[in-house]
Structures are given as C-alpha cells and as structure tokens.
Structure 1
C-alpha cells in the first residue's frame, strides 16, 4: 500500500459516506495479566447509536494514522509449507476465512481465536479492549478524458476488509463534581474503566490494497509508537516477516556509506548526497502518470548517488561488500524517503560542546569546519545580517 491508498480509506471512516460500509463489529475485553476473554459482544455496526459510531470512527482513523515505515508497516505473511497451510491458527488463514465467512458466527469465532493469540503471546499491564470490524471499501474507477460524463459511483472497485484496533483502559481519576439537581459538591464515584480510544496501542488492516486489487499476502500493521513496532506481535500473532523501520533504514544507509567512504566527510559532499536523493523523490512526485511508488536505494543506486556527489574511488564491488557487511544482504533496497532528512524543516543537527545548531539539508553546503589560528571552528556562510538578542552581529576578521 502507498500513502495515498491509506489516506483514502482513512478519510472515509465517517458518517454518511457511501464508499465505506462497516457491517459487523466485535469487541473483546481482556483483563490485565489474563490470557482469557472476560467479555465479548458482536453486533451490526448500524445498530450502534451515532455517538458510539463516531467514537469508533475516531479510533479507526487513529489506527491508520502515521507514516509508512514509522507507525505503519506493510508486513508479508511468512510463506507456509503444504503441511503448515493446514494450521488453523495461522493469522492469514483466520483473516481470510473470516473475511469470506457467510455466517457471522463463523467470522466471530475466527476473530476470537485471533484475539486469544494476541493475549497469549503478549504481556499487557492494563485491561485491553480488542475491536474487530468487517466491511467493504469502494473506490471509484478513474475515468479517461475521452469518456462521456458518467456518475463517479457508476463503476467502483470493491474490497472487503477487516480492521483491528487494540486499546488499553484507564481507571477514572477521583474528582470533585457539582450536582445540579441536589445543588451540592460531591466526589466522583465512577469506577468503570475508560477505554482509551484516542491512543490505540496497535492494530492492523487486512488485506492490503495494491493497484486497486486486494493483496491477501500482506497485512498493514499499525504500531502504537513511532519506529517501535512490536516484533513479537508481528512474528507470533500475525505470522509475518521482519520489518525495517524508517529509523532502521537511515541507520543502515549511514553505516553503508561509512563502509564505502569512511566516517569522515566534508559538508559539501554530504549536502550533495542528500540533494541527489531528494531529487529522486521530487522527480517521482512530478510523475503524475506513474503509480505511486517511493524510490528505493539498492547497490546500484547507492553507487550512482555517491559518484554523482563527487565521492572518489567508488565502485560496485565496494558498495556490494558494504551491503553484505552491514545487512548480510546485497539485494536489500532502502526506502529513499527514509534516509534523507526532511527538506521542509531544520532537520540536520550539528552538535558541538559549545552549541547545537539546526539547519535545513539544502543549507548544509554553507557550513564548514575550518582551522583559524590553530583553533577548530564551525563557519557558517550567511547572506544576511546575523541577530543576537536584538543586536546586529558585527563582522570580524579572524584570519590574521
């Protein structure tokens, strides 16, 4: 899935839309430190009152919020042997069977077994509410310019889906309230746990959508924290392969570059490396006709980027050896959007004992480390006046 696909289905979790219909909702309550279901209920989503539906819509949007590689991860199911394919507890089989079950009771049983996998393979310090929904997502087909005027809803891609949300509960804090009927102050006696639907700790969407078609071999996993997927959950509950976060990709890229050119670099070379990668992303965004796919950095692209940035003595053997040493995989492809700092903010940090400096990547070329009268200095080239606490900084000639 790409960010446009996720954004599109996410925006339709609201009242009144005809492009997303939720048929059934199934809620499971698990008490802390327990591996059994304390309470469960399943019903038609349309039977919930409007206020409850709005609360769930907010929750589902939170599950699908965040960036790919940071909080959302497309996970590939582990390929099974013929014998393993008969495993009734494999997440892919439970989800696929539940998705196509004609009987609501069968769908509920499949989701119940999946919920039990979650609590039996995890540790939760607070009570947990697991919510499953089943529905259909409709996406209008694109019309070519030479087609006659046709209602946008006439032809749609229809994809049945299952979404899961995991939410912890909190006990309400004791508070002082005012009773309008009795006209007196009282202490709050509410002891019912509150489901924290604004901060889901995890979830997933099945199946993924690729080129307007369902991809049942992948599941979109949602992490509760940025760059901190629950690897145990992915492996033992979803039966998925290992994922790499955006933070992982950035670290891997830096280590590969260090293996190729060493751990010392001047600011102009580093700026050129970032510029080369950023240009890949910008060209990709300008190509409106192409399907949205984020550019990747394999061995050939890393070699090209380094050579274009002016790095000497770079060849394919060096780059492949670096990939092999850092990743033990010469075929790995890094997401280009993960390794380059944000060009819309001061995302590069220059740390020294005296001060920390934040600058935009495109301004890195104006920073130098120089020796002045035997002292190491950070030199920043500026075209405008420099202000300190309202005072204009005067120019000094230090090269004496």
Structure 2
C-alpha cells in the first residue's frame, strides 16, 4: 500500500464515513489470562466510545511506510488449505460473527504475542464501497465497481493511570485521584487484506508497529504466517556491512561521501511519490558504481549482498541513510556536518599523516566562545624599535 491508499482507508474512521459493521474485544492480563470479551455492532456503541475507537484505528494506520507500516506477502504455503491466509479469510468472510473462530484468533494472539503487561485486542470488520475515479483523479461515489471488505486488528496496552491529586466537585476539595486502567494507543496491529491499487489484495497484509525495533516474530510469523522483515536499524547495519566488505581497504572519504550524496538526491527526487523508495540488489549495485566504487571491488558485491541481506531483500532508502545528518567519527573526535556542505571537508596528506581538512571562512565557536579564524601575523616596521602584532 502507498501513502494515498493508507490515507483513503484512514478516512473511513470518522462518523461520516464509518463502514465498520462489527467490533470484538478481548482484554488480556500480564499472565495471558482473558479477563473480558466483548462483541457489538459498532454503530450501536455510544457516540463518545466511537470517537475513542476511531482514534485507535487511525493510529493503527499511522507512521512511516516501510518503518511503522510494512506490507507483507503471504508465502505460498500459507495460501494453501490450513494456512494463515485461509484462517484470516474465514474471519473476514464470517464478518466476525463466528464466535468460535474469533475465540481461536484471540488464542493465537495470546499464545504468540510477546508482551509482559495487560493489553486489549480489538478486532473490527468493515465494508468500504470503493468510489470510482475520473481520469482527472476525482472520486465518483456513484461509480463504484468494488466493495473492499476487510478486518483490522489493534493491540493496545492497558495501563494503570498515574497517581495524583484531583478536584472533587462533590466535596469541593482536592483529594487523591481515583486510579483506573486506561486503554492506550496501539503498539501493534494489522489490516487484512491489504488495499493495493485501490483494491483487495488477499495475498498481502499491512502490519503496524509503533516501535519497529521491538520485534514480534510470534505475531508476524505464526499468527500472520509471513516472514519477519528487517527492522530499520538492522537494514542500516546490513547496508553498512555490505559497504564495508565491498569497499574493503578502498573505502576512502570521497567515495563514502559520494554514496551519501547520491542516496540523498534519490530520496529527494522520490519525495512526491506515494510509494517509498526501496533499493533492490541491482539498484544498490548501480548506486555504488555511480558513486565511484572501484570496479575490482564490485566483483564481490553480489556475493556480499546475498550473504548479508539475501538476494530478494529490498532496503528502504530512508532506513539506510539520514539525509539530515552527516557525521564523521574517530575514536576521540565526532564532527557533525550540514549534509549540504560536505564540500567544506576534504582529505589531505600533511607531514605524512592522513588528515581531514575543514574549510573555515565564517564565524567559529568553541564551547560557545567565538574564536579567531585567521592567525596573528607579526610584521616588523623598520621605523619602530619593537615588533608590532597585527591581526
């Protein structure tokens, strides 16, 4: 799913657009015991509750594509009889009205979800009548050719509210606040089927993680039957490892700087594209070649990439570089450079030592104190008895 498709589904979580038919919930404690189960026609809920649920559902489709929101395809074996895809399709097609099936879903989550505190599983069924679009891109609500029936799961922490004082209007006094258990915004969730090309894609699921670095292999691999993707941090580490082993001793400053600049340029050119920029093995190879990596180093690239990432892995460009930072580090020194002014730094051999030379033409501060950028010059005036120091 791209940005526009995610936003199109998010817009359904409002009172005017709501197409949710049923909502089911399961409150689980830190010992994996079911404390409460609920099931309702969504529109039968009090209006105040609906608004709070809408906020949770919108959060489940929030964040950055490729980081918080990741589309995953089912492996072929999961699309066979008895696979996870078949189970999710049954949940959707029964509109969450098969209690035994919903109960089985809860049990799968509880058994495989790794969370040491209380949490609330919310499962909804929704039916979106997809409006057609004109050649100009305008929605035509009277020209729908497809209904997008889907389920969405949100997993929300349930935590005790903070202790404190509050005003008691009955006694007109300040007193100890009553603490209760509060359902917080979701930390994980998924949408099935994915809404790809503005249509149901039963071969894919969109997953959500508030913190993509906290992996949930049980949820992804067992409940959804998909393959656990590389986290953003792991993608960055993998890319750096691929570079290090490909460049070996030839990884000089200019080449690495060129790779960063070319990547940043590619991200900038893609910023208006609803699809996030991802790089396959072929595209990473082209990037390195265009950045001046010697041909002899590229001879081992494909083998290195396959070993570190796998032939079919795609890396999200914004995960493997930071366009807003350019840092240079030694064991004792860290230099932070404006990414747009990397030209101010060059490497030079001085007195037999490899040095980084920083061009300084403007104001310089050290620990908040302005320092001079031009050294003192000593000039001898033949008409004076002593040397005069001039700035």
TM-score by length of 1: 0.82
CA apart distance, 1:354: 4.8
Q: Which has more radius of gyration?
A: 2
* SS of structure 1 residue aligned to 2:134: coil
1:63 maps to 60
Establish whether residue 218 from structure 1 lines up as the match of residue 196 from structure 2. Answer: no
Establish whether residue 40 from structure 1 lines up as the match of residue 31 from structure 2. Answer: no
In 1, the alpha carbon distance for the partners of 2:370 and 2:65 equals: 44
CA contact (8 A) 1:159 1:213 kept: yes
Alignment counterpart, residue 302 of structure 1, candidates 284, 288, 305: 284
Alignment counterpart, residue 105 of structure 1, candidates 81, 90, 97: 97
1:277 maps to 263
CA apart distance, 1:135: 0.8
In 2, the alpha carbon distance for the partners of 1:211 and 1:358 equals: 42
Q: How does 1:1-400 map to 2 (within 5 A)?
A: 1-17=1-17, 20-34=18-32, 36-80=33-77, 85-87=80-82, 90-101=83-94, 104-106=96-98, 108-145=99-136, 152-156=140-144, 157-188=146-177, 190-196=178-184, 198=185, 200-262=186-248, 265-285=251-271, 292-314=274-296, 317-327=299-309, 329-342=310-323, 345=324, 347-370=325-348, 372-373=350-351, 377-388=355-366, 389=368, 391=370, 393-396=372-375
In 1, the alpha carbon distance for the partners of 2:296 and 2:354 equals: 29
Deviations 1:115-169 (A, max 9, x none): 1111112343222211011112344433124x9xx87322245311211111121
Deviations 1:8-45 (A, max 9, x none): 3224422323xx411111111112213x4322111111
Q: 1:110 to 1:246 in 2, by over 3 A?
A: same
In 2, the alpha carbon distance for the partners of 1:229 and 1:43 equals: 31
In 1, the alpha carbon distance for the partners of 2:167 and 2:278 equals: 59
Deviations 1:68-124 (A, max 9, x none): 232222122232279xx443xx4322321121226x522x43332111111112343
CA contact (8 A) 2:247 2:297 kept: no
Count of matched residue positions in the alignment of Structure 1 and Structure 2: 375
CA apart distance, 1:353: 4.9
Stretches of structure 1 lacking an aligned partner (at least 5 in a row): none
TM-score by length of 2: 0.84
Q: CA RMSD in A?
A: 3.0
* SS of structure 2 residue aligned to 1:24: strand
In 2, the alpha carbon distance for the partners of 1:131 and 1:53 equals: 13
